[in-house]
Structure 1
Amino acid sequence: MGAPRVLVVEDDARLLAMLTELLEGAGYDVTVARDGQRALHEGLTGSFDLILLDRGLPALEGLDVLNRLRRTGITTPTLVLSALGNPADRVEGLDRGAEDYLAKPFDVAELLARLRALLRRHEQTAPALRVPGGVLDVTVRGVQLDDGSEVALSERECDLLEHLARHPRQVLSRHELLAAVFPDADDQGVVDTYVHYLRRKLGRATVQTVRGLGYRLGAPA
């Protein structure tokens, strides 16, 4: 399935560089954001396994970013890493949607251990993703159809359908899908090709074309 994808949101340039080097060294695929608006954009349009989130951000406070992501149905496990570390701050962070909360300054080994624990819990408890006509199981790269049959998907087909299913009400541009699902490609036509493959296997209703804008998950059957 590739390296775990983590969105790191931190406005301190030196700390952000340190976290990026640390996480990449630990085998993560890192995307960064230095303010709340960029973090919200990345969270809404990208596909991540984890979010590492500061609170005191320019443009939009970290917990407000998290709250907006949760309201759109994005359930990516999130660890808040903040200088606001008293008990009331931790309680607020957990109540507003974070799965874990670690105060700065922090121990590097503890941070990595907490991220590993979040990944394990998410893999064990990740909800099934409803798609038109069935349920996507990313662990086996297949769709269990409502009639009881199963359809196997390739890795890229599964990644594309998963990304659409994690943003069920959003229209995603071909550029956004290319960056999130096919980062090694430079031709947006690859998105159209894999949409065609999904429709061929699962039916045209699986992915809806929004003319001039992009694609979104089809309506439930």
Structure 2
Amino acid sequence: MKNLFANAVFTLSTLFLFSCNNSNDPTPNGGSGTENAVAQAGVSTITSKVENPIINKQPIPENFEWKLMTSVQLPMNKGLNLSAPFDIVNETAGDISWGSDGGCYQALRCWKVTRAILGIVDFKSVTPGTLKALPFVKGQIAWAPGAAPGYTPTWPNYMPVGTVIAYKTSLNKFRIVVVKSISPLVLDVYHENYYRVY
């Protein structure tokens, strides 16, 4: 019991000694006491902006490149889906198909996507930003055979080997298709690929 009484007296005296308050001491409420103490000491105040490392963090830069997704041989009168799993399907069931242009030649036709013919270009330099400025339309891209001895083609060849075609899906995603071969038709399909640089 004596220990309990002694502990209580010690605790009360400690609280009394440490709770003494000088009116000139800085006070935590509103900071006015701190400002007065600093002003009395003749010290100039410097306000510094404290940055939040999460909110004020610089964004990690993103780079862009076209990523080869598949190289596919597309048979005549068949369709191809330009998204994984890149199925070869019935002619009208795919995003694009390879078949007759309605005349003497073959054509690469659009069913579920729109297209823009870029021609023979370095597709690696093409960005989604530049593609957004192009007109994308439905329709076919006709292939006509090149001039052979004694033969004069009556239709221009809009799809020679090396032609780059941009497609836009219904979700506004871009695909790049490069014509690698005509007979048989071999296409390289590229997708947009963004990646972080750390």
Tell me whether the two structures share a fold, i.e. TM-score over 0.5.
no
Higher relative contact order (CA 8 A, sep 6+): 2
Structure having the larger proportion of residues in strand: 2
For the pair shown, which has the larger CA radius of gyration, 1 or 2? 2
TM-score by length of 2: 0.21
TM-score by length of 1: 0.20
Structure having the larger proportion of residues in helix: 1
